[in-house]
């Protein structure tokens, strides 16, 4: 079963508005939250602006999954019926490259109900903070602000908020 989420950046933090891209599988904090934190800490995709450019701008149709992906492999969707590319299934799976060529899909705060999102990971680039939001009774609840330059949080504690 999928846990739908969004990877996003604030457009106006005071007004609590953000925009980002869809992420289909394993969107809960102990999976996607942890993965995003590690991508930043390990500089797998560069610094935070580079990381967000890759995740949000370079792959505008969103993601099937980036959790446990091998970023040495080129991002792209691989259909299960595609027998010739077994190794590529270990890479980041986006909806805009590879076997799928979907159009850009921007998720903006306010339309997240239409996407059935459960979690959102919203980045404040200048402060290097990842805000974790959870959908609860039709409203977003701020669960935690994670200092990306700080110690790794307890993802299970965040998940069970």
Q: What is the mean pLDDT of residues 3-9?
A: 96
Residues 50-82 have pLDDT tens digits of 999 999 999 999 999 999 999 998 898 877 666
Domain boundaries, the chain: 5-159
Residue 122 has pLDDT above 80, yes or no: yes
Of 114 and 46, which is predicted with more confidence? 46
pTM over 0.85: yes
Q: What is the mean pLDDT of residues 133-148?
A: 92
Residue 86 has pLDDT above 60, yes or no: no
Q: What is the mean pLDDT of residues 18-43?
A: 97
pLDDT attached to residue 78 = 79
Looking at beta carbons, which pairs linking 101-107 to residues 24 or more positions away fall under 8 Å? 102/61, 102/62, 103/61, 104/60, 104/61, 105/21, 105/22, 105/60, 105/61, 105/62, 106/19, 106/20, 106/21, 106/60, 107/6, 107/8, 107/19, 107/20, 107/21, 107/22, 107/62
């Amino acid at each position: 079963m999928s846990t739908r989420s969004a990877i996003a950046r604030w457009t106006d933090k005071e007004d609590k508005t953000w925009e980002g891209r869809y992420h289909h599988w394993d969107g809960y904090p102990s999976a996607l939250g942890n993965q995003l934190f590690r991508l930043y800490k390990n500089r797998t995709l560069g610094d935070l602006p580079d990381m967000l450019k890759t995740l949000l701008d370079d792959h505008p149709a969103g993601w099937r999954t980036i959790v446990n992906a091998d970023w040495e492999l080129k991002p792209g969707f691989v259909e299960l019926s595609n027998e010739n590319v077994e190794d590529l299934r270990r890479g980041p799976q986006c909806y805009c490259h590879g076997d799928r060529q979907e159009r850009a899909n921007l998720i903006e705060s306010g339309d997240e109900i239409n996407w059935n999102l459960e979690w959102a990971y919203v980045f404040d680039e200048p402060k290097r903070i990842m805000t974790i939001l959870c959908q609860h009774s039709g409203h977003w609840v701020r669960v935690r602000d994670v200092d990306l330059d700080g110690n790794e949080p307890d993802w299970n504690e965040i998940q069970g908020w």
